[in-house]
Amino acid sequence: MTDPLPTALYTATQVRELDARLIGAGTPGFELMQRAAHACWRALRRRWPDAGTVTVLAGSGNNAGDGYLVATLAQRAGWQVKVVAVGEPQALKGDAANACAEARQAGVVIEPWRSDSPLDGVLVDALLGTGLTGAVRPPYAQAIEAINESGRPVLAVDIPSGLCADTGALLGHAVRAEVTVTFIGLKLGLFTGEGPDRVGQLVFDDLQAEQAQVAAMPHEAVRLCPDTLPRLAPRRPTAHKGSFGQALVIGGDLGTGGAALLASEAALRCGAGMVTLATRPEHVTASLVRRPEIMCNGVESTYALTALTERADVLVVGPGLGQGPWGRSLLSLAVQAEVPQVWDADALNLLAHGAVELPARCLITPHPGEAARLLGCTTAEVQADRPRAVRELARRFRCSALLKGAGTLIADDEGRMALCDRGHPAMASAGLGDVLAGVAGALLAQGLEPFEAGCLAAWLHAVAGERCADGGRGLAAGDLIPQVRHLLEEHAPCTK
């Protein structure tokens, strides 16, 4: 499996520093701007080769300079071109001013922005760059809305205007692009929050940057792909079931037994040596019929659970657990087990309510609503800055945290952060989180640390969802389990 994008993810500040280092090393800023414009023009012609008409909407910074140079290239190629100047051309400085002058010299028509400005052909968004932090103000807000309402194809220069480069949050208004061409370093906000909904096809161009300089620049997170994922070691010929851990899944209150069954089957199929399920006695028969390899135990109290936790190497706690007396009592015993644990669903809700404290060596897997309850804030606040939220979860609970959603983020309390940019909208279905918890539990049972298990589980789960999504809507959580197994074997074969 090949991946065309780099793996390092940066903040806007880090990319600006990298840009400054390239200039300081001898590459003129205007040369970098010209390279960016050529990258955009190549992407535009590949996507819309017969368009023939381009309208560039330009702001007042270096992003606008890129846009003016794109207009120059289109003009020289014989296309119908105009620039709608939302930012005053006379306010441009430095390289951006030189780019505007080059466009004028090439004969590009430059018109001031009006609310009724006609927008024709392919629209090039060169309004606002990566430095934007506050809310988009007029007239840029109105220009962005006009772009989105035009029905025209849109190419965004570096980042869709109005999208926060660091968090993926919408800064009031943001362009929805079909293609985004980004430069030098990948910005974290392109991949999480609202980024996946606004970026469209992402094209990356390093602008011929020296790779040694890029590699020396600190980055904010790592994008997960086969080259950056942890791997399970091949199994020895003498391996046996005891070599790969016993995973105990605790959950499945009345009415939600399926969640615990899904987690258990996922743990079994991802290679845990033995899988035990502690659930309501009413669910034992269903478990035996569905998957007799899982050792299903009906438990009514902590007394019945004690012997199971003593034998377990890993716990997966929370799928279908409920927040009633039964779930609370089982969770109160689970916290005493000195083994790695995955906490999901109602285990997290009970943690948020202060009913228990999280033990050491845990991986928690909240969705944004659960993360908000854990952090004492709103879901909107979590989504507005997902990187901050996942880091705070890891710090506050001294654990590894996996924040689900588009652009899943994994962080630990040592400062590491990774992002999974895979997945499919068909995965918006109940039960998929239970499968993810089971996958992570199996990886813990086979020796991965919580952060590593979270990274590999998130990627396997997301890519399996993509493979299962060919049929579109109606994807069931159980559909992922066979695919996850195949993917794990592709990534880390069982034998050499």
To the question of whether residue 353 is assigned a binding role by annotation, the answer is no
- Report yes or no: 345 and 259 within 8 Å, Cβ to Cβ: yes
Closest CA to 349 of 373, 368, 316: 373
To the question of whether residue 98 is assigned a binding role by annotation, the answer is no
Q: How far is CA 55 from the centre of its chain?
A: 32
One-letter amino acid at 78 equals: G
To the question of whether residue 131 is assigned a binding role by annotation, the answer is yes
Specify the DSSP element, H or E, that contains 10: strand 8-10
One-letter amino acid at 99 equals: A
To the question of whether residue 344 is assigned a binding role by annotation, the answer is no
To the question of whether residue 172 is assigned a binding role by annotation, the answer is no
To the question of whether residue 128 is assigned a binding role by annotation, the answer is no
Q: How far is CA 110 from the centre of its chain?
A: 38
One-letter amino acid at 454 equals: G
Q: What's the rounded Cα separation, in Å, for the pair 341 and 441?
A: 7
To the question of whether residue 133 is assigned a binding role by annotation, the answer is yes
To the question of whether residue 129 is assigned a binding role by annotation, the answer is yes
Extended strands (E) in 242-369: 246-250, 274-279, 295-298, 314-317, 341-343, 362-364
Query: By three-state DSSP, how is residue 97 classified?
Result: helix
Q: What is the DSSP letter of 405?
A: S
To the question of whether residue 125 is assigned a binding role by annotation, the answer is yes
Specify the DSSP element, H or E, that contains 186: strand 186-187
To the question of whether residue 320 is assigned a binding role by annotation, the answer is yes
To the question of whether residue 158 is assigned a binding role by annotation, the answer is yes
To the question of whether residue 63 is assigned a binding role by annotation, the answer is yes
Closest CA to 147 of 183, 120, 182: 120
To the question of whether residue 166 is assigned a binding role by annotation, the answer is no
To the question of whether residue 367 is assigned a binding role by annotation, the answer is yes
Q: Is 254 left (phi over 0), alpha (psi -120 to 50) or beta?
A: beta
Q: What are phi and psi of 133, to 5 degrees?
A: -125, -35
Q: Detail the residues annotated as belonging to a binding site for (6S)-NADPHX.
A: 129-135, 140, 158, 259, 320, 367, 434
Binding residues for AMP: 404-408, 433
Q: Which residues are annotated as a binding site for K(+)?
A: 63, 125, 161
Annotated binding site: 63, 125, 129-135, 140, 158, 161, 259, 320, 367, 404-408, 433-434
